Amino acid sequence: MDFNSQRTSRDDAVRDGARFEDYRRPGDLIDSGHPAVAAHATQVAAQGSDREKALRLYYAVRDGLRYDPYNTPMKRDAYRASATLAAGHGYCVNKAGLMAALCRAVGIAARVGYADVRNHMTTKRLSDLMGSDIFYYHGYTEVWLDGHWVKATPAFNKELTERFDLKPLEWDGISDSIYHPFDLGGRRHMEYLAYRGVFADIPFDEIRDAFRHYYPRMSRAQEAMPLGGDFGAEGALEASRK
Q: How far apart are CA 137 and CA 210, in angstroms?
A: 8
**pLDDT for the residue 84:** 97
- Give the range with max mean pLDDT: 28-32, 67-71, 130-134, 159-163: 28-32
Class of residue 104 by CB neighbours under 10 A (exposed 0-12, middle 13-18, buried 19+):
buried
Residues whose CB is less than 8 angstroms from the CB of residue 24 and which lie 6 or more positions away in sequence, other chains included: 104, 107, 109
**pLDDT for the residue 225:** 63
CA distances for 9 relative to 95, 141, 207, 225, angstroms? 24, 18, 19, 34
Residue closest to 224 by CA, chosen among 83, 91, 74, 69: 74
In the chain, the percentage of residues whose pLDDT exceeds 70 is 91
182-185: long-range contacts, CB 8 A cutoff, minimum separation 24: 183/121, 185/242
Residue 1 pLDDT exceeds 50: yes
Q: DSSP string spanning 183-215?
A: -TTS-B-EEEEEEEEEESS--HHHHHHHHHHH-
Which stretches does DSSP call E strand in the chain? 66-67, 89-90, 110-119, 134-145, 148-152, 190-199
> pTM for the whole thing?
0.89
**pLDDT for the residue 127:** 84
- Digit-coded pLDDT (tens) for 169-191: 999 999 999 887 776 777 767 89
Planar angle of CA 171, 176, 177, nearest 5 degrees: 45
The residue ranges of every structural domain in the chain are: 3-240
User: What average pLDDT does the segment 132-148 reach?
Assistant: 96
pLDDT averaged over every residue in the chain: 90
Residue closest to 73 by CA, chosen among 85, 84, 82: 84
User: What average pLDDT does the segment 157-171 reach?
Assistant: 88
Residue 74 pLDDT exceeds 90: yes
User: What average pLDDT does the segment 100-117 reach?
Assistant: 98
- Digit-coded pLDDT (tens) for 186-241: 776 789 999 999 999 999 999 999 999 999 988 888 888 654 445 454 455 555 55
Residue 149 pLDDT exceeds 80: yes
Tally the C-alpha atoms within 13 A of residue 50's C-alpha that lie toward its C-beta. Answer: 17
**pLDDT for the residue 182:** 72
Q: How far apart are CA 204 and CA 116, in angstroms?
A: 16
Residue closest to 61 by CA, chosen among 123, 108, 103: 103
Residue 122: CB atoms within 10 A of its CB come to: 24
User: What is the domain class of 3-240 according to CATH?
Assistant: alpha beta
Of the listed ranges 26-35, 69-78, 89-98, the one predicted with least confidence? 69-78
